[in-house]
A and B are shown apart, each in its own frame.
Chain A
Amino acid sequence: MKAVVTVMGIDRPGIIAKVSTSLFENGVNILDINQTIMQDIFTMVMLVKLGDDTDPAVVLADLDKIGSEIGVDIRMQNEEIFNSMHRI
């Protein structure tokens, strides 16, 4: 499944490294990354692909852990929610 990972919080060194390492360790492939600072908030959007045998719940739990460690809000949502809402 394809999913969108969004990371939001105060900018600090190592956010991308930590998030992408965690994804790598879970066998998640990063297809696209978009990073910007919106109203002083670091915002990163990644399009990722989970392997067929990857449990999204495990990936999400690991991301949650990193999020609380480095003080950013991380979420991973099935891409379909955005496609269905914004594309006819």
Chain B
Amino acid sequence: MINTREIMETIKMIDDQHLDIRTITMGISLLDCIDSSAERACEKIYEKIVRLAKDLVKTGEEISRQYGIPIINKRISVTPISLIAGASDAKDYVCFAKTLDRAAKDTGVNFIGGFSALVHKDFTKGDRILIESIPEALAVTERVCSSVGVATTKSGINMDAVKLMGETIKKTAERTADKESFGCAKLVVFSNAVEDNPFMAGAFHGVGEGDAVINVGVSGPGVVKAALEKVKGKDFGTVADVIKKTAFKITRMGQLVAQEASRRLGVPFGIVDLSLAPTPEIGDSVAYILEEMGLEKCGTHGTTAALALLNDAVKKGGVMASSYVGGLSGAFIPVSEDAGMIAAAECGALTLDKLEAMTCVCSVGLDMIAIPGDTPAETISAIIADEAAIGMINQKTTAVRIIPVVGKGVGEMVEFGGLLGYAPIMPVHEYSSFDFINRGGRIPAPINSLKN
């Protein structure tokens, strides 16, 4: 029998340190729903999603009860809608978003991702229509998430798409101005987008995936923080070791839940995403882990190094614990979803520039950052371009989920609610990037892609 100490350790992780399965995400291919009639395509999409995912929420809840482990979110990701809708006669794709929203509500999932387009090299007709539909789609739906891939290491950065996404983010903010520009919290711009990410808002079901798949995202910043409290003042070898062991345990639980969900739903297991995903609750923060390492405030000098160690150790510990690892896998640093990040941003320790540096060494990118509502579209595009360049050159996924909150300025607070949290409006550089963004064209692929 497992000894009492180990049992109590697990229970303590769940009760006191917010250990949870962040999401069970079912990926569903919609390629067989393509139809020249948008109406018929939407019918097929609704039918397929509801058929495959009807037991997803119930199964998640059953597993949660039987294993005594909270499973916070049950979600769905689908094939990028630009690929499906592109074959149809529709002039805008809001109807597809509404279909996804209806399917999400009827299956009981809280988010559905995949109102997406991959335009890292160029646009198709469908891609353009989809991107033009984003502001309206995110305003009239509740649970639909959207993402657009604008760059990859292999193809460079599509600067026309970067420009368009700056404008799209602005329009989305304006279209949802009555809800603190909340639409932008459901919109991610990617460099090197991954096909099996279970986390929102950037989840979509890639074309390399099968018909359906179960991907699981684990979480547990609080557990890592609690483990580090026991090795105060010890050297970095010890710190890395403690994180690895903790990540191993967290991931094993994710693997177990993923396999169990896969078995019960009769859908193949895809990957476990080894991410440390914070929530706004006290004690569930990535920033506090960095501060536990000895930084007075997250964002001060040393933060990037601390985050690099954390991110790497999480992967090293987690990889052995799961048969298949994928998704984004790393530490997330969403400002509004992390109590420590919020506090650091409020007191001025954490700036946009420091966050950009941090994204060079951790999972994803500039995430859930509120900026002034009057930020020009070109400035947002330039922020995206910088982030895309970091991803492209470093052969990693980077993303921008930034919210220009209409009517608000630096120092004011914005409240998104729930897991999306709240954030202070952070300043952006005031000098213009207008001429840079308006050049258009592509930034060529970097030399590190030419390995063939």
Contact = CB atoms under 8 A, between A and B. Distances in A.
B4 A86 contact: no
B416 to A, nearest CB: 32
A68 interface: no
A75 B11 contact: yes
A81 B8 contact: no
Interface stretch (B64-72, B154-162, B181-189): B64-72
B6 A86 contact: yes
Nearest to B320: A88
B192 interface: no
B2 A82 contact: yes
Interface in B4-27: 4, 6-11
A6 B5 CA distance: 12
Interface in A28-80: 31-32, 34, 36, 38, 43, 45, 47, 56-57, 60, 75-80
A56 B66 contact: yes
Contact of A80 (B1, B4, B65, B256): B256
A45 B4 contact: yes
Contacts of B67: 77-78, 80-81
B253 A84 contact: yes
B66 A78 contact: yes
Interface string B52-79: 0000000000100111110000000000
Contacts of A34: 1, 4
Nearest to A4: B7
A43 B4 contact: yes
A85 to B, nearest CB: 5
A57 B65 contact: yes
A1 to B, nearest CB: 8
Given A6-B11, A34-B4, A82-B7, A76 B255 contact: no
Interface in B280-322: none
B8 A38 contact: yes
B401 interface: no
A75 B68 contact: yes
B68 A82 contact: no
Contacts of B2: 4, 79, 82-83, 86-87
B65 A32 contact: no
Nearest to B252: A84
Contacts of B48: none
A47 B10 CA distance: 15
Contacts of A80: 67, 256
A36 to B, nearest CB: 7
Nearest to A2: B1
A81 B4 contact: no
B68 A76 contact: yes
B4 A85 contact: no
Contact of A45 (B7, B68, B69): B7
Contacts of A57: 62, 65
B253 A85 contact: yes
Contact of B256 (A1, A75, A84): A84
A86 B62 CA distance: 23
A57 B400 CA distance: 43
Nearest to A60: B65
A38 B66 CA distance: 25
A32 B1 contact: yes
Contact of B10 (A3, A38, A43, A82): A82
B354 interface: no
B223 to A, nearest CB: 11
Given A45-B4, A86-B2, A81 B10 contact: yes
Contacts of A43: 4, 8
Nearest to B63: A78
A1 B6 CA distance: 20
A73 to B, nearest CB: 9
Residue from B7, B255, B256 with most neighbouring chain A CB atoms (10 Å): B7
B6 A81 contact: no
A77 B256 contact: no
Interface string B238-273: 000000000001001101100000000000000000
Given A32-B1, A34-B4, A45-B7, A81 B249 contact: no
16 contacts: A1-B66, A4-B2, A4-B7, A43-B4, A77-B68, A78-B67, A81-B68, A81-B253, A82-B6, A84-B253, A84-B255, A84-B256, A85-B10, A85-B249, A85-B252, A86-B9
Interface of A: 1, 3-4, 6, 31-32, 34, 36, 38, 43, 45, 47, 56-57, 60, 75-87
User: 5 smallest A-B Cβ distances: which pairs?
Assistant: A77-B68, A82-B2, A84-B256, A86-B6, A84-B252
Given A6-B8, A77-B68, A86-B6, 17 more contacts: A4-B2, A38-B8, A43-B4, A56-B66, A77-B66, A77-B67, A78-B66, A78-B68, A79-B2, A80-B67, A81-B67, A81-B69, A82-B7, A84-B252, A85-B252, A85-B253, A86-B249
